[in-house]
Structure 1
Protein backbone atom coordinates (compact mmCIF):
# COMPACT_ATOMS: atom_id res chain seq x y z
CA UNK A 1 0.00 0.00 0.00
CA UNK A 2 1.44 3.38 -1.01
CA UNK A 3 2.06 5.79 1.85
CA UNK A 4 2.00 9.53 1.24
CA UNK A 5 3.80 12.32 3.08
CA UNK A 6 4.82 15.97 2.83
CA UNK A 7 6.74 15.49 -0.43
CA UNK A 8 4.90 12.51 -2.01
CA UNK A 9 1.30 13.67 -2.34
CA UNK A 10 -1.84 11.64 -2.94
CA UNK A 11 -2.99 12.49 -6.49
CA UNK A 12 -6.60 11.66 -5.61
CA UNK A 13 -6.76 14.77 -3.41
CA UNK A 14 -6.31 16.97 -6.50
CA UNK A 15 -9.60 16.30 -8.26
CA UNK A 16 -8.77 18.50 -11.27
CA UNK A 17 -6.05 16.01 -12.32
CA UNK A 18 -8.72 13.41 -13.03
CA UNK A 19 -9.64 15.07 -16.35
CA UNK A 20 -6.09 14.52 -17.62
CA UNK A 21 -5.75 11.06 -16.10
CA UNK A 22 -9.05 9.86 -17.58
CA UNK A 23 -7.75 10.82 -21.05
CA UNK A 24 -4.16 9.63 -20.66
CA UNK A 25 -4.34 7.35 -23.71
CA UNK A 26 -5.57 10.22 -25.91
CA UNK A 27 -2.67 12.36 -24.64
CA UNK A 28 -0.19 9.53 -25.24
CA UNK A 29 -1.52 9.01 -28.76
CA UNK A 30 -1.05 12.71 -29.55
CA UNK A 31 2.55 12.48 -28.35
CA UNK A 32 3.40 9.33 -30.32
CA UNK A 33 1.47 10.62 -33.34
CA UNK A 34 3.57 13.78 -33.30
CA UNK A 35 6.84 11.82 -33.15
CA UNK A 36 5.80 9.61 -36.07
CA UNK A 37 4.19 12.26 -38.29
CA UNK A 38 6.19 15.44 -37.68
CA UNK A 39 8.74 16.48 -40.28
CA UNK A 40 12.40 16.91 -39.40
CA UNK A 41 11.88 20.68 -39.52
CA UNK A 42 8.91 20.46 -37.14
CA UNK A 43 10.85 18.25 -34.74
CA UNK A 44 13.83 20.61 -34.71
CA UNK A 45 11.60 23.63 -34.11
CA UNK A 46 9.73 21.84 -31.32
CA UNK A 47 12.83 20.97 -29.31
CA UNK A 48 14.47 24.36 -30.05
CA UNK A 49 11.48 26.51 -29.07
CA UNK A 50 8.87 24.48 -27.17
CA UNK A 51 11.42 22.72 -24.95
CA UNK A 52 12.34 24.35 -21.61
CA UNK A 53 16.15 24.49 -21.22
CA UNK A 54 18.10 24.29 -17.97
CA UNK A 55 21.61 25.62 -17.31
CA UNK A 56 21.79 24.21 -13.80
CA UNK A 57 20.37 20.66 -13.73
CA UNK A 58 23.15 18.23 -14.59
CA UNK A 59 23.17 14.63 -15.79
CA UNK A 60 25.85 12.05 -15.12
CA UNK A 61 27.80 11.03 -18.20
CA UNK A 62 26.28 11.48 -21.66
CA UNK A 63 22.73 10.46 -20.83
CA UNK A 64 19.97 12.64 -22.30
CA UNK A 65 16.70 14.25 -21.26
CA UNK A 66 14.34 15.89 -23.74
CA UNK A 67 11.20 17.92 -23.21
CA UNK A 68 8.68 20.12 -24.99
CA UNK A 69 5.31 21.53 -24.02
CA UNK A 70 2.37 23.74 -24.77
CA UNK A 71 1.67 25.61 -21.48
CA UNK A 72 4.09 27.69 -19.40
CA UNK A 73 3.18 29.79 -16.36
CA UNK A 74 -0.48 29.52 -17.30
CA UNK A 75 0.05 30.76 -20.88
CA UNK A 76 -0.10 28.73 -24.06
CA UNK A 77 3.36 28.59 -25.63
CA UNK A 78 2.58 31.00 -28.49
CA UNK A 79 1.34 33.59 -25.95
CA UNK A 80 4.30 33.01 -23.63
CA UNK A 81 6.78 33.77 -26.43
CA UNK A 82 5.03 37.08 -27.15
CA UNK A 83 4.55 38.17 -23.53
CA UNK A 84 8.22 37.58 -22.71
CA UNK A 85 9.52 38.82 -26.07
CA UNK A 86 11.77 35.76 -26.55
CA UNK A 87 14.32 36.08 -29.36
CA UNK A 88 15.63 32.84 -30.87
CA UNK A 89 18.84 32.45 -32.92
CA UNK A 90 17.05 30.78 -35.84
CA UNK A 91 13.56 32.30 -35.60
CA UNK A 92 12.09 35.77 -35.17
CA UNK A 93 9.75 36.22 -32.22
CA UNK A 94 6.60 36.54 -34.34
CA UNK A 95 7.68 33.61 -36.51
CA UNK A 96 8.34 31.41 -33.47
CA UNK A 97 4.98 32.30 -31.94
CA UNK A 98 3.10 31.62 -35.18
CA UNK A 99 4.86 28.28 -35.75
CA UNK A 100 4.20 27.24 -32.14
CA UNK A 101 0.49 27.95 -32.58
CA UNK A 102 0.34 25.91 -35.80
CA UNK A 103 2.09 22.93 -34.20
CA UNK A 104 -0.08 23.04 -31.08
CA UNK A 105 -3.31 23.12 -33.08
CA UNK A 106 -2.09 20.47 -35.52
CA UNK A 107 -0.75 17.87 -33.10
CA UNK A 108 -2.12 18.59 -29.57
CA UNK A 109 -5.73 19.84 -29.86
CA UNK A 110 -7.08 17.42 -27.25
CA UNK A 111 -4.38 18.14 -24.69
CA UNK A 112 -5.00 21.88 -25.08
CA UNK A 113 -8.73 21.30 -24.63
CA UNK A 114 -8.21 19.26 -21.44
CA UNK A 115 -5.94 21.97 -19.97
CA UNK A 116 -8.47 24.67 -20.80
CA UNK A 117 -11.25 22.64 -19.18
CA UNK A 118 -9.29 22.20 -15.95
CA UNK A 119 -8.20 25.84 -15.75
CA UNK A 120 -11.73 27.11 -16.37
CA UNK A 121 -13.04 24.94 -13.55
CA UNK A 122 -10.24 25.77 -11.10
CA UNK A 123 -9.18 29.33 -11.97
CA UNK A 124 -5.87 28.69 -13.74
CA UNK A 125 -4.53 26.13 -11.26
CA UNK A 126 -2.35 24.38 -13.90
CA UNK A 127 0.80 26.40 -14.73
CA UNK A 128 3.14 24.23 -16.85
CA UNK A 129 2.38 21.26 -19.09
CA UNK A 130 5.08 19.52 -21.07
CA UNK A 131 6.22 16.07 -22.18
CA UNK A 132 9.36 14.84 -20.48
CA UNK A 133 11.36 11.92 -21.89
CA UNK A 134 14.16 10.11 -20.07
CA UNK A 135 16.33 8.38 -22.64
CA UNK A 136 18.16 5.13 -21.72
CA UNK A 137 20.92 5.54 -19.15
CA UNK A 138 19.69 8.89 -17.84
CA UNK A 139 20.91 9.75 -14.34
CA UNK A 140 20.19 13.30 -13.17
CA UNK A 141 22.16 14.68 -10.25
CA UNK A 142 20.41 15.63 -7.02
CA UNK A 143 18.64 18.98 -7.32
CA UNK A 144 15.56 20.93 -6.27
CA UNK A 145 12.93 22.86 -8.25
CA UNK A 146 12.34 25.61 -5.77
CA UNK A 147 8.77 26.88 -5.59
CA UNK A 148 7.11 26.28 -2.21
CA UNK A 149 3.69 27.05 -3.73
CA UNK A 150 3.77 24.42 -6.49
CA UNK A 151 3.38 20.67 -6.84
CA UNK A 152 4.57 18.68 -9.83
CA UNK A 153 2.46 15.88 -11.23
CA UNK A 154 3.75 13.19 -13.61
CA UNK A 155 1.17 11.37 -15.70
CA UNK A 156 2.73 8.12 -16.94
CA UNK A 157 2.41 7.77 -20.72
CA UNK A 158 5.20 5.39 -21.78
CA UNK A 159 6.89 3.61 -18.86
CA UNK A 160 9.13 0.60 -19.56
CA UNK A 161 9.56 -2.19 -17.06
CA UNK A 162 12.73 -2.08 -15.01
CA UNK A 163 14.70 0.42 -13.01
CA UNK A 164 13.27 3.79 -13.99
CA UNK A 165 12.50 5.74 -10.84
CA UNK A 166 12.52 8.96 -8.85
CA UNK A 167 14.68 9.12 -5.75
CA UNK A 168 13.39 11.82 -3.39
CA UNK A 169 14.62 12.21 0.18
CA UNK A 170 14.66 8.64 1.53
CA UNK A 171 12.35 7.01 -1.01
CA UNK A 172 12.52 5.52 -4.48
CA UNK A 173 9.23 5.95 -6.35
CA UNK A 174 8.11 4.43 -9.65
CA UNK A 175 5.96 5.75 -12.48
CA UNK A 176 3.03 3.76 -13.88
CA UNK A 177 1.21 4.24 -17.16
CA UNK A 178 -2.13 5.98 -16.78
CA UNK A 179 -1.41 7.14 -13.23
CA UNK A 180 -0.22 10.37 -11.65
CA UNK A 181 2.74 10.68 -9.30
CA UNK A 182 2.60 14.01 -7.44
CA UNK A 183 5.67 15.46 -5.70
CA UNK A 184 6.69 18.61 -3.89
CA UNK A 185 9.85 19.33 -5.87
CA UNK A 186 11.24 21.78 -3.36
CA UNK A 187 12.65 18.63 -1.70
CA UNK A 188 15.93 17.22 -3.11
CA UNK A 189 15.37 14.58 -5.77
CA UNK A 190 17.18 12.77 -8.58
CA UNK A 191 15.49 10.59 -11.22
CA UNK A 192 17.08 7.93 -13.41
CA UNK A 193 16.33 5.53 -16.25
CA UNK A 194 18.52 2.43 -16.17
CA UNK A 195 16.45 0.61 -18.81
CA UNK A 196 17.08 0.28 -22.55
CA UNK A 197 13.93 2.21 -23.48
CA UNK A 198 12.57 5.76 -23.33
CA UNK A 199 10.29 6.79 -20.48
CA UNK A 200 7.82 9.60 -21.23
CA UNK A 201 5.44 11.36 -18.85
CA UNK A 202 3.24 14.43 -19.05
CA UNK A 203 4.67 16.88 -16.52
CA UNK A 204 1.96 19.03 -14.92
CA UNK A 205 2.96 21.81 -12.52
CA UNK A 206 0.06 23.19 -10.50
CA UNK A 207 -0.56 25.58 -7.63
CA UNK A 208 -1.09 24.11 -4.19
CA UNK A 209 -4.85 24.59 -3.85
CA UNK A 210 -4.85 25.39 -0.13
CA UNK A 211 -2.88 28.66 -0.47
CA UNK A 212 -4.08 32.18 -1.42
CA UNK A 213 -4.03 32.44 -5.22
CA UNK A 214 -2.92 36.08 -5.27
CA UNK A 215 0.17 35.25 -3.22
CA UNK A 216 0.99 32.31 -5.50
CA UNK A 217 0.73 34.36 -8.67
CA UNK A 218 2.85 37.17 -7.22
CA UNK A 219 5.60 34.72 -6.23
CA UNK A 220 5.42 33.05 -9.64
CA UNK A 221 5.72 36.35 -11.50
CA UNK A 222 8.77 37.38 -9.48
CA UNK A 223 10.43 33.99 -9.88
CA UNK A 224 9.71 33.76 -13.61
CA UNK A 225 11.04 37.28 -14.21
CA UNK A 226 14.35 36.26 -12.59
CA UNK A 227 14.51 32.95 -14.44
CA UNK A 228 13.81 34.57 -17.79
CA UNK A 229 16.52 37.16 -17.14
CA UNK A 230 19.02 34.40 -16.33
CA UNK A 231 17.95 32.16 -19.23
CA UNK A 232 15.11 33.16 -21.60
CA UNK A 233 14.98 29.62 -23.00
CA UNK A 234 14.08 28.20 -19.59
CA UNK A 235 10.45 29.22 -20.27
CA UNK A 236 10.29 30.04 -16.58
CA UNK A 237 10.55 26.38 -15.56
CA UNK A 238 14.21 26.19 -14.52
CA UNK A 239 16.54 28.60 -12.74
CA UNK A 240 19.60 29.04 -10.56
CA UNK A 241 17.55 28.15 -7.49
CA UNK A 242 17.35 24.57 -8.79
CA UNK A 243 20.84 23.88 -7.47
CA UNK A 244 20.55 22.01 -4.19
CA UNK A 245 22.20 23.86 -1.30
CA UNK A 246 23.97 22.33 1.66
CA UNK A 247 20.99 23.01 3.91
CA UNK A 248 18.78 20.99 1.52
CA UNK A 249 21.01 17.94 1.96
CA UNK A 250 21.17 18.34 5.71
CA UNK A 251 17.40 18.86 6.05
CA UNK A 252 16.72 15.50 4.41
CA UNK A 253 19.59 13.62 5.99
CA UNK A 254 21.49 13.46 2.69
CA UNK A 255 24.74 15.05 3.83
CA UNK A 256 26.67 12.04 2.44
CA UNK A 257 25.47 13.04 -1.04
CA UNK A 258 27.64 16.15 -0.82
CA UNK A 259 30.75 13.99 -0.74
CA UNK A 260 29.45 11.76 -3.54
CA UNK A 261 28.76 14.77 -5.75
CA UNK A 262 32.27 16.07 -5.17
CA UNK A 263 33.73 12.72 -6.21
CA UNK A 264 31.49 12.47 -9.29
Structure 2
Protein backbone atom coordinates (compact mmCIF):
# COMPACT_ATOMS: atom_id res chain seq x y z
CA UNK A 1 0.00 0.00 0.00
CA UNK A 2 1.49 3.34 -1.09
CA UNK A 3 1.95 6.07 1.46
CA UNK A 4 0.58 9.34 0.08
CA UNK A 5 1.34 12.79 1.45
CA UNK A 6 1.51 16.44 0.38
CA UNK A 7 4.02 15.77 -2.41
CA UNK A 8 3.23 12.13 -3.34
CA UNK A 9 -0.41 12.20 -4.40
CA UNK A 10 -3.00 9.49 -4.86
CA UNK A 11 -3.85 9.05 -8.58
CA UNK A 12 -7.42 8.11 -7.60
CA UNK A 13 -7.97 11.76 -6.67
CA UNK A 14 -7.64 12.69 -10.36
CA UNK A 15 -10.12 10.49 -12.28
CA UNK A 16 -9.60 12.42 -15.54
CA UNK A 17 -6.20 10.69 -15.78
CA UNK A 18 -7.95 7.34 -16.23
CA UNK A 19 -8.28 8.09 -19.96
CA UNK A 20 -4.49 8.09 -20.29
CA UNK A 21 -4.03 5.04 -18.09
CA UNK A 22 -6.59 2.98 -20.01
CA UNK A 23 -4.72 3.72 -23.25
CA UNK A 24 -1.20 3.35 -21.85
CA UNK A 25 -0.22 0.51 -24.17
CA UNK A 26 -1.44 2.41 -27.22
CA UNK A 27 0.50 5.49 -26.08
CA UNK A 28 3.60 3.37 -25.44
CA UNK A 29 3.31 1.76 -28.88
CA UNK A 30 3.07 5.17 -30.56
CA UNK A 31 6.29 6.18 -28.84
CA UNK A 32 8.18 2.99 -29.72
CA UNK A 33 6.90 3.04 -33.33
CA UNK A 34 8.08 6.62 -33.71
CA UNK A 35 11.54 5.83 -32.36
CA UNK A 36 11.85 2.86 -34.73
CA UNK A 37 10.25 4.32 -37.84
CA UNK A 38 11.14 8.03 -37.81
CA UNK A 39 13.83 9.17 -40.19
CA UNK A 40 17.08 10.68 -38.98
CA UNK A 41 15.79 14.09 -40.05
CA UNK A 42 12.51 13.60 -38.17
CA UNK A 43 14.32 12.53 -35.02
CA UNK A 44 16.66 15.53 -35.17
CA UNK A 45 13.74 17.90 -35.67
CA UNK A 46 11.83 16.29 -32.81
CA UNK A 47 14.59 16.69 -30.24
CA UNK A 48 15.53 20.16 -31.55
CA UNK A 49 11.99 21.56 -31.57
CA UNK A 50 9.52 19.39 -29.66
CA UNK A 51 11.67 18.90 -26.56
CA UNK A 52 11.56 21.38 -23.67
CA UNK A 53 15.08 22.62 -22.84
CA UNK A 54 16.31 23.62 -19.38
CA UNK A 55 19.23 25.87 -18.46
CA UNK A 56 18.93 24.95 -14.79
CA UNK A 57 18.50 21.21 -14.38
CA UNK A 58 21.82 19.40 -14.69
CA UNK A 59 22.91 15.77 -14.69
CA UNK A 60 25.92 14.13 -13.12
CA UNK A 61 28.32 12.53 -15.61
CA UNK A 62 27.68 12.03 -19.31
CA UNK A 63 24.30 10.34 -19.22
CA UNK A 64 21.39 12.25 -20.69
CA UNK A 65 17.71 12.99 -20.25
CA UNK A 66 15.74 13.38 -23.46
CA UNK A 67 12.21 14.64 -23.91
CA UNK A 68 9.74 15.60 -26.60
CA UNK A 69 6.02 16.15 -26.63
CA UNK A 70 2.91 17.38 -28.36
CA UNK A 71 1.19 19.62 -25.78
CA UNK A 72 2.62 22.64 -23.98
CA UNK A 73 0.69 25.07 -21.76
CA UNK A 74 -2.58 23.66 -23.03
CA UNK A 75 -1.73 24.09 -26.73
CA UNK A 76 -0.65 21.51 -29.26
CA UNK A 77 2.97 22.07 -30.16
CA UNK A 78 2.32 23.56 -33.62
CA UNK A 79 -0.01 26.16 -32.05
CA UNK A 80 2.45 26.94 -29.28
CA UNK A 81 5.26 27.59 -31.78
CA UNK A 82 3.04 29.99 -33.72
CA UNK A 83 1.68 31.78 -30.67
CA UNK A 84 5.17 32.56 -29.37
CA UNK A 85 6.75 32.94 -32.83
CA UNK A 86 9.71 30.81 -31.75
CA UNK A 87 12.79 31.21 -33.92
CA UNK A 88 15.04 28.16 -34.37
CA UNK A 89 18.58 28.08 -35.79
CA UNK A 90 17.62 25.54 -38.48
CA UNK A 91 13.91 26.22 -39.00
CA UNK A 92 11.70 29.21 -39.64
CA UNK A 93 8.67 29.56 -37.37
CA UNK A 94 6.10 28.55 -40.01
CA UNK A 95 8.24 25.63 -41.16
CA UNK A 96 8.72 24.38 -37.58
CA UNK A 97 4.98 24.63 -36.91
CA UNK A 98 4.08 22.74 -40.09
CA UNK A 99 6.59 19.98 -39.42
CA UNK A 100 5.42 19.66 -35.82
CA UNK A 101 1.81 19.31 -36.94
CA UNK A 102 2.74 16.67 -39.52
CA UNK A 103 4.68 14.62 -36.97
CA UNK A 104 1.89 14.85 -34.40
CA UNK A 105 -0.75 13.67 -36.88
CA UNK A 106 1.43 10.92 -38.33
CA UNK A 107 2.84 9.37 -35.19
CA UNK A 108 0.71 10.40 -32.19
CA UNK A 109 -2.98 10.48 -33.21
CA UNK A 110 -4.16 8.39 -30.26
CA UNK A 111 -2.31 10.43 -27.65
CA UNK A 112 -3.66 13.62 -29.21
CA UNK A 113 -7.21 12.22 -29.11
CA UNK A 114 -6.93 11.32 -25.42
CA UNK A 115 -5.72 14.84 -24.63
CA UNK A 116 -8.59 16.38 -26.60
CA UNK A 117 -11.19 14.23 -24.84
CA UNK A 118 -9.86 14.94 -21.35
CA UNK A 119 -9.51 18.67 -21.93
CA UNK A 120 -12.94 18.96 -23.53
CA UNK A 121 -14.59 17.45 -20.46
CA UNK A 122 -12.36 19.13 -17.85
CA UNK A 123 -11.91 22.75 -18.93
CA UNK A 124 -8.45 22.28 -20.48
CA UNK A 125 -6.98 20.87 -17.29
CA UNK A 126 -4.06 19.12 -19.06
CA UNK A 127 -1.25 21.61 -19.67
CA UNK A 128 1.79 19.62 -20.84
CA UNK A 129 2.14 16.14 -22.30
CA UNK A 130 5.56 14.87 -23.32
CA UNK A 131 7.67 11.73 -23.32
CA UNK A 132 10.59 11.75 -20.91
CA UNK A 133 13.42 9.22 -21.20
CA UNK A 134 16.09 8.61 -18.58
CA UNK A 135 19.07 6.98 -20.26
CA UNK A 136 21.26 4.50 -18.32
CA UNK A 137 23.38 6.03 -15.58
CA UNK A 138 21.39 9.24 -15.36
CA UNK A 139 21.67 11.13 -12.08
CA UNK A 140 19.95 14.53 -12.05
CA UNK A 141 20.92 17.16 -9.51
CA UNK A 142 18.47 18.24 -6.85
CA UNK A 143 16.01 20.79 -8.19
CA UNK A 144 12.46 22.02 -7.94
CA UNK A 145 9.93 22.75 -10.65
CA UNK A 146 8.34 25.96 -9.49
CA UNK A 147 4.85 25.18 -10.78
CA UNK A 148 2.63 25.71 -7.70
CA UNK A 149 -0.43 25.78 -9.94
CA UNK A 150 0.15 22.27 -11.32
CA UNK A 151 0.84 18.67 -10.37
CA UNK A 152 2.97 16.37 -12.48
CA UNK A 153 1.91 12.86 -13.42
CA UNK A 154 4.24 10.21 -14.79
CA UNK A 155 2.57 7.40 -16.71
CA UNK A 156 4.96 4.45 -16.82
CA UNK A 157 5.53 3.22 -20.39
CA UNK A 158 8.94 1.54 -20.47
CA UNK A 159 10.24 0.83 -16.97
CA UNK A 160 13.18 -1.54 -16.47
CA UNK A 161 13.66 -3.53 -13.30
CA UNK A 162 16.23 -2.17 -10.89
CA UNK A 163 17.18 1.13 -9.34
CA UNK A 164 15.39 3.72 -11.42
CA UNK A 165 13.64 6.03 -9.00
CA UNK A 166 12.67 9.50 -7.84
CA UNK A 167 14.06 10.81 -4.58
CA UNK A 168 11.73 13.53 -3.34
CA UNK A 169 12.04 14.95 0.15
CA UNK A 170 12.22 11.90 2.43
CA UNK A 171 10.93 9.32 -0.05
CA UNK A 172 12.32 7.15 -2.82
CA UNK A 173 9.55 6.39 -5.30
CA UNK A 174 9.46 4.03 -8.26
CA UNK A 175 7.68 4.06 -11.60
CA UNK A 176 5.52 1.15 -12.73
CA UNK A 177 4.25 0.25 -16.20
CA UNK A 178 0.71 1.40 -16.88
CA UNK A 179 0.45 3.34 -13.62
CA UNK A 180 0.63 7.01 -12.68
CA UNK A 181 3.07 8.44 -10.18
CA UNK A 182 1.72 11.86 -9.18
CA UNK A 183 4.01 14.44 -7.57
CA UNK A 184 3.92 18.05 -6.46
CA UNK A 185 7.19 19.09 -8.07
CA UNK A 186 7.52 22.27 -6.07
CA UNK A 187 9.20 20.02 -3.49
CA UNK A 188 12.94 19.28 -4.02
CA UNK A 189 13.59 16.11 -5.97
CA UNK A 190 16.36 14.29 -7.82
CA UNK A 191 15.63 11.31 -10.07
CA UNK A 192 18.11 8.72 -11.30
CA UNK A 193 18.43 5.64 -13.51
CA UNK A 194 21.12 3.25 -12.29
CA UNK A 195 20.01 0.45 -14.63
CA UNK A 196 21.43 -0.45 -18.05
CA UNK A 197 18.21 0.36 -19.87
CA UNK A 198 16.15 3.40 -20.84
CA UNK A 199 13.17 4.41 -18.74
CA UNK A 200 10.40 6.26 -20.59
CA UNK A 201 7.24 7.80 -19.15
CA UNK A 202 4.55 10.12 -20.43
CA UNK A 203 4.78 13.29 -18.36
CA UNK A 204 1.35 14.84 -17.86
CA UNK A 205 1.18 18.22 -16.12
CA UNK A 206 -2.27 19.32 -15.02
CA UNK A 207 -3.86 22.17 -13.12
CA UNK A 208 -4.49 21.51 -9.44
CA UNK A 209 -8.27 20.93 -9.42
CA UNK A 210 -8.74 22.55 -6.01
CA UNK A 211 -7.27 25.88 -7.16
CA UNK A 212 -9.53 28.58 -8.67
CA UNK A 213 -9.16 28.18 -12.43
CA UNK A 214 -8.87 31.90 -13.18
CA UNK A 215 -6.08 32.20 -10.62
CA UNK A 216 -4.00 29.33 -12.01
CA UNK A 217 -4.46 30.49 -15.61
CA UNK A 218 -3.21 33.97 -14.72
CA UNK A 219 -0.22 32.50 -12.88
CA UNK A 220 0.59 30.24 -15.81
CA UNK A 221 0.44 33.10 -18.30
CA UNK A 222 2.77 35.27 -16.23
CA UNK A 223 5.17 32.39 -15.59
CA UNK A 224 5.29 31.27 -19.22
CA UNK A 225 5.92 34.82 -20.43
CA UNK A 226 8.94 35.05 -18.13
CA UNK A 227 10.26 31.61 -19.04
CA UNK A 228 9.89 32.19 -22.76
CA UNK A 229 11.71 35.50 -22.46
CA UNK A 230 14.58 33.79 -20.65
CA UNK A 231 14.67 30.69 -22.85
CA UNK A 232 12.19 30.24 -25.71
CA UNK A 233 13.26 26.62 -26.09
CA UNK A 234 11.97 25.84 -22.60
CA UNK A 235 8.46 25.74 -24.09
CA UNK A 236 7.38 27.28 -20.79
CA UNK A 237 8.14 24.08 -18.86
CA UNK A 238 11.39 25.02 -17.10
CA UNK A 239 12.75 28.28 -15.68
CA UNK A 240 15.38 29.95 -13.53
CA UNK A 241 13.29 29.38 -10.42
CA UNK A 242 13.81 25.61 -10.71
CA UNK A 243 17.17 25.77 -8.95
CA UNK A 244 17.12 24.22 -5.47
CA UNK A 245 18.38 26.38 -2.61
CA UNK A 246 21.11 25.19 -0.26
CA UNK A 247 18.66 24.99 2.63
CA UNK A 248 16.58 22.52 0.60
CA UNK A 249 19.44 20.02 0.70
CA UNK A 250 19.65 20.29 4.47
CA UNK A 251 15.91 20.42 5.21
CA UNK A 252 15.12 17.30 3.21
CA UNK A 253 18.10 15.22 4.29
CA UNK A 254 19.91 15.41 0.95
CA UNK A 255 23.01 17.21 2.16
CA UNK A 256 25.19 14.38 0.82
CA UNK A 257 24.38 15.59 -2.72
CA UNK A 258 25.31 19.19 -2.09
CA UNK A 259 28.98 19.04 -3.07
CA UNK A 260 28.57 17.45 -6.46
CA UNK A 261 25.54 19.62 -7.15
CA UNK A 262 27.72 22.66 -6.47
CA UNK A 263 30.40 21.25 -8.76
CA UNK A 264 27.85 20.97 -11.58
CA UNK A 265 27.05 24.66 -11.31
CA UNK A 266 23.87 26.36 -12.47
Q: Same fold (TM over 0.5)?
A: yes
In 1, Cα distance between equivalents of 2:256 and 2:128:
33
User: Equivalent residue of 2:20, what SS?
Assistant: helix
Partner of 1:232: 232
In 2, Cα distance between equivalents of 1:87 and 1:215:
30
Count of residues paired in the alignment = 264
Aligned runs of 1:1-264 on 2, under 5 Å?
A: 1-255=1-255, 257-259=257-259, 261-262=261-262
In 2, Cα distance between equivalents of 1:138 and 1:69:
20
Compute the displacement of 1:250 (Å). Answer: 4.5
Compute the displacement of 1:147 (Å). Answer: 1.3
Gaps of 5+ in 2: none
In 1, Cα distance between equivalents of 2:256 and 2:136:
27
Compute the displacement of 1:149 (Å). Answer: 1.3
User: Equivalent residue of 2:96, what SS?
Assistant: helix
In 2, Cα distance between equivalents of 1:235 and 1:98:
17
> Aligned in 2, Cα 1:138/1:255: closer, same or farther, shift over 3 Å?
closer
Compute the displacement of 1:44 (Å). Answer: 0.5
> Aligned in 2, Cα 1:97/1:260: closer, same or farther, shift over 3 Å?
closer
For residues 162-208 of structure 1, give each alpha carbon's deviation from its aligned partner in whole angstroms, at most 9, with x where no partner exists: 00000000110000000000000000000000000000000000010
User: Equivalent residue of 1:86, what SS?
Assistant: coil
In 2, Cα distance between equivalents of 1:54 and 1:263:
18
In 2, Cα distance between equivalents of 1:63 and 1:240:
22
Compute the displacement of 1:245 (Å). Answer: 1.4
Compute the displacement of 1:263 (Å). Answer: 6.0
Compute the displacement of 1:248 (Å). Answer: 3.0
Compute the displacement of 1:259 (Å). Answer: 4.4
In 2, Cα distance between equivalents of 1:113 and 1:250:
44
Compute the displacement of 1:253 (Å). Answer: 4.4
> Aligned in 2, Cα 1:206/1:161: closer, same or farther, shift over 3 Å?
same
In 2, Cα distance between equivalents of 1:56 and 1:164:
22
TM-score (norm 1): 0.97
